[in-house]
Amino acid sequence: MRVPEGFVVLRDGIVLRRGHENEIDDFLAVAWPPPAADVPAVVPGGRGTTRRIALSDGGTAYVRRYVHGGLLGALLGDRYWQRPPRPVRELAATEAARRAGVVAPEVLAALVRPAAPAGLLYRAALVTRALEGRRALADALRAADDPATRHAWIACAVRAVRRLHAAGIHHPDLNAANVLVGGRPEDDAALIDFDRADVGRLPAGAARVALARRRLSRSIAKLGLPGLDRAAAAAALDAAGLGAGT
């Protein structure tokens, strides 16, 4: 299995960032706690089971288990069969984004454990370092006092998305929760949740850019903010440089 520089492959296909070897057992225990274990509470929001964990260097990480939704969730729950394992692919896409200059979480580990039937299925989790001092684009838009400030936050998000597309990376779930902004619209936005992201030809094709625009505009419109319905959100993305033809 090929992994990005700075990572090592351990037992069962676990991929770990070098320097965190002494924490692998803690990561596994939080992802799949033994019965009656004292583990951190699940972080609210999202479909899976995400928990916070303190790191030995004083930082904080999130341990996010993968769980199917919909019909697959009813059939398989948290068991997967894709190869290479899903968290390893997310790790690779996240690292590719970081190398391209996109602000994205530092992945510490892609956790994999066998599941029945043996040799066919597995359970998985991803460990990422927390991005401190940031909030979701959705929260920034809700807190903005005027249309100009909202458009500045949208432009901030677009700059990050354009950098991602320039590197040939397609994020399939760009929404107002997966874009994290800093204290000012001038600061670089961060992108999170690269599950099912694709690293393809450079730059990303027009169809994928249009898909990202459609997904993000729909997400912004769902916030129900004055003057930001679906058409207005799409126009704001166009004005910031994420037009359907860019």
| Residue pointed to by tokens 């760009």 | 174
Give the Cα separation of 172 and 71 in Å (integer): 20
Give the Cα separation of 201 and 166 in Å (integer): 9
Task: Answer whether 67's CB lies under 8 Å from 73's CB.
Answer: yes
Give the Cα separation of 31 and 127 in Å (integer): 9
Please tell me which residue in 139, 173, 198, 229 is annotated as part of the active site: 173
Cα separation values, 131 from 85, 135, 180, 196, 222, Å: 24, 9, 9, 21, 25
Terminus-to-terminus CA distance in the chain, angstroms? 35
173 in catalytic set: yes
Task: Answer whether 212's CB lies under 8 Å from 161's CB.
Answer: yes
Give the Cα separation of 32 and 38 in Å (integer): 12
Degrees, nearest 5: CA angle 10-33-125 = 50
Task: Answer whether 107's CB lies under 8 Å from 130's CB.
Answer: no
Which parts of the chain fold into alpha helices (H)? 24-31, 70-76, 86-99, 137-143, 147-166, 206-221, 230-240
Active centre residues (catalytic): 173
